[in-house]
Each structure stands twice: as C-alpha cells, then as structure tokens.
Amino acid sequence: MKLPSGQQPPTPPAQPASQKPGPTAALEAGREPGASSARQLLDQLQLANRATTLARVAEIMNRPGGNADVLLDIRGKSLLVQAAIGNTELSPGDWVKVMRAGNELQLMGKLAPAPEAGIARALAQRLPWQQTLDTGLAKLMGALTQGLKQDPLPGQLPSARQTQPLPEAARQTIEQLVARLPSGSRPAPGAGATTEPATPQQVRQWLAESGLFAESRLTQAPSAHLPDLKLALGRVITALLAQQGSTPDQFNRLTPISTPELMQAPLQFPQPLATPQAPGDGEPPSVGQMLRLLAGMLNRITVNQLHSQVLTARGGGDAAAPASTLLLDLPWLTPQNEPRLAQVRIEQYPQDSQADRKAPGQTTTEWRLSLTMDLDEAGPLHFDVALRQQAVSARVWAEKQATLRQVNEELPALRQSLTDIGLEVTDLECRRGTPRASVTRLEHRLVDTRA
C-alpha cells in the first residue's frame, strides 16, 4: 500500500514460500509527508529493514473500506499507523508481530492472548472495592480495646446491640501484626551505617511481610502462623466467621467497604490519601462491618499484586520499560501508635544500551526506588533513588517550605552516610512540590463501569 504522501515505498524482498505475508501498515507521516518522514519514524524505533518486533495494540479507529488507524505501542513509544487489516481481527490490548519492510510495517500475525489479559481483568474487578490499609489497621487496633458490636437481629433496634470482645485468635493475630510493623522511631537516623548490620535485614523483613509475596511465601514455607499482613488478615477473618457461625462462602458474598479516594485514580502512584482516624475514635464497628472492611483491605493488597504483574508483563519485552515492577503499601506506626502508610515502588531496569556493556555478556542493572510518605509535621515527602552498581542518586520532594529547608540542611549528612557504606553519590538534591504521578491504563473493555 502507498504512503499517505502517495510515494511508493521500497519493494521488500519476496517472502519465503512457507510464509504468507500479512497485511501491511503504512506509517502516518503527519505534517511531514513522505518516505523520508516514515523512515525517520522507523529509525527512531531502532528497527532495521526486515527486522521484526512485538507491538501492543493500544487503540483502533476504523475507517470505511476495511482500513483502520491503529495506535501501536512499540518499544516504549506510541506510533499511529494506517493499516489494511483484512481478515485479521484486532482488539485493544492484543499483541502483534510486525516486520519492517522498507518504509512500511508488515503485520506478521497476532499472538495468542497473553496472561496479562486475564490478570488485567482480575485487577479491574477489584479496583472499585479497595480499602486503605492504614484506615483498616486503625479500626483493627481500636477493636482491641473497644471490641465489636453484634450484628442486629431482625426487628432489633441498633441501640440494643451489645458490644463483644474480639475472639482470642483474632486478638492474638492483630497484636502480633501490630508488633511487627515499622515504627517512627525504628530504625534510628543513620542506622544504615555498618554499625547497625541488622537494619538491612529489618527493612527486608518489612517488605517481605507486606502481603505482596503472601502466596509465594506460603508455598515455600507452609505455616498457619506465617508472619505476613495478607495472611494475618485472613486469620482474623477466619476467627470472626467462626464466632458468627458463618462460612467463607458467606464472606465472599459481602460487599467490601471501599475508600473513595482510591476510586479517583485507582492505578495511580502515588495515591493522594487522607489521614485516617486514630485507633479507638468513634463508635466501634459491627462484626459485619469489620468483615467488609477486611475484605476491602484484602482487595487493596491483591490490587497491588496484580498491578505489579501487569506492569512487569508489559515491560518484559520493552527496552525502555522496567523489566520488573513491585508496588506495595507498607504500613507503619507513628510514635503515638497511629498507623500510617508508606507507598513504595521498586523497579528493575536492564542496561540501557550497548554502550553500557563493560564486557561481552556482562549486564548492568539499575534499581529505582520511589517512596512516598505523609508525615504529621513535615507534610508529604517523596523520595526517588536510583542505584547502579555502586553509584547512587537521590531526589527528595517536599511540599512545605520549612521541610524543604530542613532537608537541604541534612543533605550533607545524607551524602556522608551513603559514602560511609561504600556508595558513590552522583546526584543529591531536594525540590519543592511533588513529582508527576504515574498512571497505568487498562483497556476500556476490561473495566466494568457499572461497578
């Protein structure tokens, strides 16, 4: 097919007899028509003639005559093409194999549905029903002292409900869970130095027990009392159901209590969240309300698990995207024993280009950490840290001017602390404001807008 400018692209070599050439997709040259413009767009993708690559169909805009405008995601870049699709049925989210043929892309075939599609559907089903972990933990900690109200019987007035203590199994699980949470005083400032060798292990433990790896850890070490946030919530649910004489099937039919803020941008990082009530404030919830709250907390952890899998699956074949991504909410306690959240994003990037190779076959991995916290006095803080071998760079974002000034005063001490543990500090700065949030897009056909 001809390019939009009317110029005929170079004729590609003949296909082998065993392969049927698929429909071609001519690049839309936009305001710079011509074969040279199409060639430049393909060259920017570092796609040589006759080379093949995978592309993800982001959007399809059908036109009369069986043609369509197709928006492709190729190697981290969006490319709008004019395609004669023919009998090939394409839908947003499909993965296709394309080959460069001169100044055109030739569709070689559509890949079988990837596991990402099923993961994304499961993710979309849970998005409307998430409860923030700090709010849920505050309610659980309040129940340790206040107990829970009985669910009203038919015809019973709400004021007639009695308060009952937590089942002993639930109480022990919550107490053990709270005891293992990070606190505002642990670790102490500067504890990352070699004088405190236990600090890295402590941080590793907090991440491992965040619930993100619950099923994997349970498979490796089956235990009814494995310390893990998600598994602990499941044990509390089991105890409450046993006290009520209810079954897991009845729990699965409950409507989870959700946090409205999480519905505004459910796949955004970081999430703008409100400060929860202190434990013990307000009326104690009923057993049914607590079960619905726990269901929402489980959904929040599961959403982070599925979201991490979606991002990892999308980045696996894309040189510009991280090879793996982990998203998690890490609860911690203030000195006043009030739960708060640290939102964490960990990304692993392979080497950027051939120039990064130190030797044939050697790879250089870069790790990037994003951490967001909202402190009572300092306000919102966001940390971006990148580590490649022994070189580290960090950027701190603060919304309050007083916090910005204080962080800038502490940067020399931070630089020295990083140097003391053997790291080369390449960049270290603090900025006012917040970084731009990243948002994951799911295909519209996967999201139930009626939920």
Q: What is the structure's pLDDT at 272?
A: 81
* Helix ranges (DSSP H) in 181-265: 198-208, 214-220, 229-244, 248-252, 260-264
pLDDT in tens, 45-86: 888 888 888 888 888 887 776 677 888 888 778 888 877 655
User: Which token pair is 382?
Assistant: 């966001």
Q: What is the structure's pLDDT at 97?
A: 86
Mean of pLDDT values over 102-113: 79
Q: What are the Cα distances from residue 364, in Å, to 279, 348, 350, 424?
A: 46, 11, 6, 16
Q: What is the structure's pLDDT at 138?
A: 94
Q: What is the structure's pLDDT at 397?
A: 95
Q: What is the structure's pLDDT at 293?
A: 97
Query: Looking up tokens 């001490």, which residue turns up?
Result: 413
With a cut of 50, say whether residue 395 has pLDDT above it: yes
Could you give the CA distance from residue 227 to residue 211 in angstroms, rounded to a whole number? 9
Q: Check the CA dihedral 107-111-116-117 and report its sign.
A: positive
> Could you tell me the pTM of the whole model?
0.72
Give kind and range of the element (H or E) at residue 427: strand 424-432
- Is pLDDT larger for residue 400 or for residue 443? 400
Could you give the CA distance from residue 379 to residue 284 in angstroms, rounded to a whole number? 29
- The DSSP line for 81-108 is EEEE-TT----TT-EEEEEEETTEEEEE
Q: Is 95 exposed, middle or buried (0-12, 13-18, 19+ CB in 10 A)?
A: middle
Query: Looking up tokens 């699956």, which residue turns up?
Result: 313
pLDDT in tens, 311-339: 888 775 555 678 899 999 999 999 999 99
Closest alpha carbon to 269 in 347, 334, 200, 202: 347
Q: What is the structure's pLDDT at 321?
A: 79
β-bridge partners, 99: 52, 106
Closest alpha carbon to 310 in 40, 50, 122: 122
Q: What is the structure's pLDDT at 106?
A: 83
With a cut of 80, say whether residue 238 has pLDDT above it: yes
pLDDT in tens, 406-430: 999 999 999 999 999 899 999 999 9
- The DSSP line for 262-306 is HHHSTTEES---PPPPPTT-SPPPBHHHHHHHHHHHHHHHHHHHH
With a cut of 80, say whether residue 127 has pLDDT above it: yes
Q: What is the structure's pLDDT at 40?
A: 80
pLDDT in tens, 175-212: 999 999 998 765 555 555 545 555 788 889 999 999 99
Q: What is the structure's pLDDT at 17?
A: 34
Say which DSSP state 11 is in: P
